[in-house]
Structure 1
Amino acid sequence: MTDDGIRRSATGIPLPGPERPKRPEWALDEKDFLKDMDSVPLFMNTLPKDADENPLIQALQDLAYDGTPEGTIMQQKEVAENFKNQGNDCFKQGKKFYQDALVFYTNGIEVFCKDDKLNETLYVNRAACNLHFGNYRKVLTDCGHALKLNPKNVKALFRSAKALFALEMFPEAIDCCDHALSSDPDNQAVKDERVKIQTEFDRREKLRLEKELREQRIREKKMRIESALKTRKIRTAATPGFKPDHPHEIQLDQETDQLTVPTFFLYPEHNESDLIQAFNEQDTIGEQLAEIFYEKAPWDPEHKYRPETVQTYFETEDQGGNIGLLKVGLKVKFLTVLTHSKYVLRDGIARLIVVPKEDSQWKKDWLAKYGK
């Protein structure tokens, strides 16, 4: 600035505006501003080595904790209480805000304040959110924490019961309701929940017992049939992976002690068959054929298949697995076939082969397959 009050350049040219004043000694360095800021206790990112000896730093640290542990506890409670209130406000606004409520309750829990009553409420409230979302295991965890703080918390017991019911843990759910009612006998919501749980539990138990009874009867029936087959020395075998294409099974009449066996009568000449659902072991082959051929079969226009014009065979199987063929007379009882030493009742189904008596090229070729 010259004597005439005008600011000029080094060459004397007038410049606009007042001359920039000199920086005071306490001002921060413009070129290394962040470095200088870190030397100010209020803005420090890291504590210096002599932090314990610096009274200003110690004062700021004391201020952050409100001076005493009691002050810290009060602050934590206020923060947790604030989170709880925000969570409650969200929860009251409806299902769309339950996720926000859950976050607030979680934040409140994570404050770890020393107020057990407040923590108890936060856990129970978060359990309500988790119950809505179907997080049943989390509901039980939250309610478990609440019940550790207060074993008589009815809301925690009630929500535990609802979660256990959803998990189909009915006796445990009923137990939670009973504990809740011991603390609050007139709580209608708990009473209604208990009735609902008990009703479903009773229904499931009835179905379970009925199923067990059916399975027990099936096992007993199977054991009786196996015993009857063993007593008669009927050889049996099962084909791995075989599944019958009919619902019929070997039956044992307990009053008469007679077996009936589902039986296929096979007609290889025409690639046809008949299924006899229950061939009684005491009936003869002829009696069964008489019933089958009482009317002419639609695939037998020449009516060649009649009891007196056909021959019946069954396949034999020795211990080495060799297959043979054995003719059966009309007066032979079915039981005689079943108990033959080379007959195998495979997969619970008997098989008898029926062909015409008259000689034909087809019959010669068919018998040749069995070495006859």
Structure 2
Amino acid sequence: MADDGIQRTKTGIPLPGPEKLTRPEWALNENSFLKEMDSVPLFMNSLPEDAADNPLIQALQDLAYDGTPEEVAENFKNQGNDCFKKGKNFYKDALVYYTNGLDVFCKDAKLNETLYVNRAACNLHFGNYRKVLTDCAQALKLNSKNVKALFRSAKALYALEMYPEAIDCCEHALLIEPDNQPVITEMAKIKEEFDRKEKIKREKEERERKIREKKMKIEAALEKRKIRTAATPGFKPDHPHEIQLDEDLDQLTVPTFFLYPEHNESDLIQAFNEQDTIGEQLSEIFYEPAPWDPEHKYRPETVQTYFETEDNGGNIGLLKVGLNVKFLTVLTHSKHVLRDGLARFIVVPKEDSQWKKDWLAKYGK
């Protein structure tokens, strides 16, 4: 065989037989046939950006609307189905084809029903759940026994957390096809999530009910004792402690601040029982010297304790309270106000000092 690939006789005469042909320049590349076909307007799967300015493409698009409305809608449905079968990357194209098919307004109810259900499948993928419900509703108007429409409605309703409605769709679907496994599985999933959310809801409602009940009981206890209360607009406590009521003993405990203005220090008593005395509480606070009181000058017997008074006009004053006075006596005093659910006592040294004189002067004393 010669170098040119043609069989010859010993004298060089070509023998009849197949020759090795050279591909012409205009032939499509056999290794990228599909890709090159997509550049041919007649076989395009998607339109280029300049489609509106391309007369050939526009002419081919017009051909898609040749025929009766039913034939055109059927053609769009088939193109949509082809795109949908290709996978998620082509769902957007499928949605456009199904929409084009519906826009034809053909009179074939069965065909329109299919277009609505198929478009719902695309919208379900994109998370357009309201559109899914709209399309499925249109399909069910045309055929109330369309299981796909009921199934896709259930999936959309589940995503929207409309669980009872989703379960209802599944139940209707199973009345038509009792053995439909996807519907059975979907309904089980919806019911499980619905039960879980309902349990959380019931537990939350129970917690809120107990909080309301507790609040009402505390308010009743405060009113029973004639304890004046007030709230500062916008006040937000920097601690988690609240007024508590021991129902068995019928005793209140109140979070209470003991303030030491001489040193700009304070102590928070989380639950000061109304039956305890001021002295008992101070004995616990000053059992050991505070870091800011290394000389142990602050002791129950060496300090004076005050609470702020507030009259109906909002004027603030000071009233000294003895060590043997019960907390309840302070709380029920006609000039004491339990503001923002907190009690406050001010503790200063008994001994006279310029600081103390200046401090008392602020209160008009």
Q: Which residue of 1 aligns with 2:343?
A: 350
Query: Cα deviations across residues 88-144 of structure 1 (Å, max 9, x unaligned)?
Result: 000000001001000110111111111111110000000000000111000000000
Q: What are the equivalent positions in structure 2 for 1:314-353 lying under 5 Å apart?
A: 314-353=307-346
Give unpaired runs (5+ residues) of structure 1: 1-71
Q: Which residue of 2 aligns with 1:131?
A: 124
Q: Which residue of 2 aligns with 1:164?
A: 157
The yes-or-no answer on 1:176 pairing with 2:198 is no
Alpha-carbon distance in 2 for matches of 1:149, 1:140 = 14
The yes-or-no answer on 1:368 pairing with 2:365 is no
Counterpart secondary structure, 1:319: coil
1:78 offset after TM fit, Å? Answer: 1.1
Q: What are the equivalent positions in structure 2 for 1:1-372 lying under 5 Å apart?
A: 75-372=68-365
1:297 offset after TM fit, Å? Answer: 0.6
Q: Which residue of 2 aligns with 1:52?
A: none
Alpha-carbon distance in 1 for matches of 2:170, 2:140 = 14
Alpha-carbon distance in 1 for matches of 2:103, 2:117 = 14
Alpha-carbon distance in 1 for matches of 2:291, 2:138 = 78
Counterpart secondary structure, 1:305: coil
1:341 offset after TM fit, Å? Answer: 0.2
Alpha-carbon distance in 1 for matches of 2:364, 2:106 = 94
Give unpaired runs (5+ residues) of structure 2: 1-64
Counterpart secondary structure, 2:68: helix
**Alignment-mate amino acid for residue 358 of structure 2:** D
Counterpart secondary structure, 1:89: helix
1:301 offset after TM fit, Å? Answer: 1.6
Alpha-carbon distance in 1 for matches of 2:176, 2:168 = 13
Q: TM-score, normalised by structure 1?
A: 0.80
Larger Rg: 1
Matched pairs, number = 301
Alpha-carbon distance in 2 for matches of 1:355, 1:76 = 95
Alpha-carbon distance in 1 for matches of 2:102, 2:174 = 28
Deviant stretches of 4+, over 4 Å: none
**Alignment-mate amino acid for residue 220 of structure 1:** E
1:77 offset after TM fit, Å? Answer: 1.2
Alpha-carbon distance in 2 for matches of 1:301, 1:344 = 34
Q: TM-score, normalised by structure 2?
A: 0.81
**Alignment-mate amino acid for residue 171 of structure 1:** P
1:203 offset after TM fit, Å? Answer: 0.5
Query: Cα deviations across residues 158-204 of structure 1 (Å, max 9, x unaligned)?
Result: 00000001111000000000000110111110011001110110000
Counterpart secondary structure, 1:277: strand
Query: Cα deviations across residues 249-306 of structure 1 (Å, max 9, x unaligned)?
Result: 0000010010000000000000000000000000000000000001111100221100
Alpha-carbon distance in 2 for matches of 1:299, 1:89 = 82
Query: Cα deviations across residues 144-167 of structure 1 (Å, max 9, x unaligned)?
Result: 000001001000000000000111
